[in-house]
Amino acid sequence: RQFARLIGSTPLQVKLTLVKITNHIPKNTSPEYLTKFYKSFNDIKNKKFDGFIITGAPIEKLDFKNVKYWDELSQIMDWTIINVHSVFSICWGAMAMLFHRFGVDKELLKEKAFGCYNHTNLAPNSPFLRGISDDIVIPISRWTKINSSDLERISNLKILLDSNEMGACLIEEKNSNILY
């Protein structure tokens, strides 16, 4: 709903298509609701999209390859490279895509990070951060993080927002339209 409200408040004409993992049955959403409002990956895999958002999941303590739907999610992530103009992956979805595309693993924290953390704008001239302060505070609630040092060795990634405490927050994949 939050994304739908944000996208809906722009002057762009957007047709929102909600996509679910084909055979996954979530614990907190009824099958009737999913059938009514969501398409399966099989329903959309032959279409092209201007944008695609890969969201989080409350499974961040699991190893990626132990996620029951990892194979289909990997197919979706690969599919976005060819069939989607811009991809925005967030939270666990960003960590999953970084692992899938670059082998970057998440770090399990000793305790849950919950609060507001300072971040540094490393790319003030980026079109994504133009007009954003050099130092900003971002709310965080998670059990894992991505270490900035793990990303710095990958030439195709650029850290846009970084935190000494919480690691990379916004990452751009160079020469593509993918944000993590």
| pTM of the entire predicted model | 0.90
pLDDT tens for residues 121-173?
999 999 999 999 999 999 999 999 999 999 999 999 999 999 999 999 999 99
Residue 5, token pair as written in the block: 């409200």
pLDDT tens for residues 10-53?
888 888 899 988 878 777 888 888 889 999 999 999 999 999 99
Tell me the average pLDDT across 68-90.
Answer: 95
pLDDT tens for residues 83-114?
999 999 999 999 999 999 999 999 999 999 99
Q: What is the pLDDT of residue 28?
A: 80
**41 vs 18: CA distance, rounded Å:** 10
Please name the residues in contact with 157: beta carbons below 8 A apart, sequence gap of 6 or more.
102, 151, 171, 172, 173, 174, 180
**177 vs 172: CA distance, rounded Å:** 8
Q: What is the pLDDT of residue 29?
A: 83
Q: What ranges in 1-86 are assigned the alpha helix state H?
A: 2-8, 31-37, 41-44, 70-83
**1 vs 129: CA distance, rounded Å:** 24
**130 vs 127: CA distance, rounded Å:** 5
Q: What is the pLDDT of residue 58?
A: 81
Q: What is the pLDDT of residue 167?
A: 94
Q: What is the pLDDT of residue 175?
A: 87
Q: What is the pLDDT of residue 77?
A: 96
